[in-house]
Amino acid sequence: MAVLIPSALTPPTIFSGPAASGAVYHHGAHVVDWTPAGEEPVLWMSRQSRFDDLSPIRGGIPICWPWFASGRTAAMSPPHGYARVTEWRLLGQKGDAESIRVRYLLVGGGPGSQFPGRLTYEVAFGRTLTAALTVTNTSPGAFSYEAALHTYLAVGDVRQISLTGLEDAPYLDRAPGAKPGQRSHAGELKITGETDRVYTTESPVTVYDPVIDRVIVTERSGSANVVVWNPWVDKAKAMEDFGDDEWPSMICVETANIGDQAIKLGAGQSHTMSFTLSLVSA
């Protein structure tokens, strides 16, 4: 079980079974731990995260909704929407020898809460981790939204990892100084500087980590985008809730629908975006 940082929030709910343990804050329905039995924690958490009822938690799996970053207009606030800084309610849990399954409902509002959606979030902690965000349009009209499950993975040294599954996929580079427009690359991805890329692909993404000697696979459903992010040196220093020396120990591989891949729902329609994390032999 990962050591959780003392919090001014209501403590997270701890889920523990034969196959794995996990922890979720009601604030943002924020998953902060998934540790399969006999393994090291798979999710990364910042030592500098602010644990209060107004701030997002840095690390784990933030839920970005109903917009990503500052949204398609580049003017939305708070960044990444209000779902990650809003109260969610635990609707129930059940478990067996294979996994513990929990279900949450977004109950709070916030800036931009004119979005007429009902959000539920289901997480299964086992030898694999599965997370599924379902949005239902409860209004008589149509609306659209962006979403991301902003997963922080713990790695031994981000400079030594490699990612596969992104070969030849078009991507937008959002890092400072990047050229505009879509591009692609052949072969595996190596992290050599500040990285903020939005790929359009449905393929699984595999992270090879020679330092920890493990391989993490992300498989997605209902997701057109993968975001790969690491702040590197300068941005880590500029972030108050991110330790200056923490950037080598994490990589974000995010399940998303953003920009041109935003989800459009008619009255009464629903959409589920999900991913499964698996550890495989190195």
Say what the pTM is: 0.94
Rounded Cα gap, residues 132 and 149, in angstroms: 9
Q: State the residue for tokens 């731990």.
A: 33
Residue 6: predicted pLDDT: 47
Asked whether the beta carbons of 52 and 58 are under 8 A apart, the reply is: no
Residue 152: predicted pLDDT: 98
Rounded Cα gap, residues 75 and 73, in angstroms: 5
Residues 150-206: tens digit of each pLDDT? 999 999 999 999 999 999 999 999 999 998 899 999 999 999 999 999 999 999 999
Residue 1: predicted pLDDT: 40
Residue 115: predicted pLDDT: 73
CA distances from 207 to 67, 149, 152 (A): 26, 17, 12
Element (H, E) at 235: helix 232-238
Torsion of CA 37, 40, 44, 46, to 10 degrees: 120
| pLDDT at 220 exceeding the cut of 50 | yes
Mean pLDDT, rounded, of the chain: 93
Q: Which of 99, 94, 95 is nearest to 36 (CA)?
A: 99
Element (H, E) at 236: helix 232-238
Q: Which of 190, 225, 219 is nearest to 280 (CA)?
A: 219
Sign of the torsion angle spanned by Cα atoms 260, 262, 263, 264: negative
Q: Which of 27, 17, 113 is nearest to 63 (CA)?
A: 27
Residue 74: predicted pLDDT: 87
Q: Which of 154, 139, 136 is nearest to 273 (CA)?
A: 136
Tokens of 38: 């006999």
Q: How confident is the model at residue 230 (pLDDT cuts 50, 70, 90)?
A: very high
Rounded Cα gap, residues 278 and 269, in angstroms: 30
| pLDDT at 282 exceeding the cut of 70 | no
Min mean pLDDT across 19-28, 75-84, 253-262 is at 75-84
Residue 135: predicted pLDDT: 97
CATH number of 13-280: 2.70.98.10
**Burial bucket for residue 166 (CB in 10 Å: 0-12, 13-18, 19+):** buried
DSSP 140-198: SS-EEE-EEE-PEEE-S-TTT-EEES-TT--EEE-STTPPSSEE--SS-EE--S-EEEE
Residue 160: predicted pLDDT: 98
Section 236-243 average pLDDT: 96
Q: What percent of the chain has pLDDT over 90?
A: 85
Report the half-sphere exposure of 81 (CA within 13 A, side-chain side). 25
Residues 128-147: tens digit of each pLDDT? 999 999 999 999 999 999 99
Element (H, E) at 56: none
Residues 49-75: tens digit of each pLDDT? 989 888 999 999 999 999 999 899 888
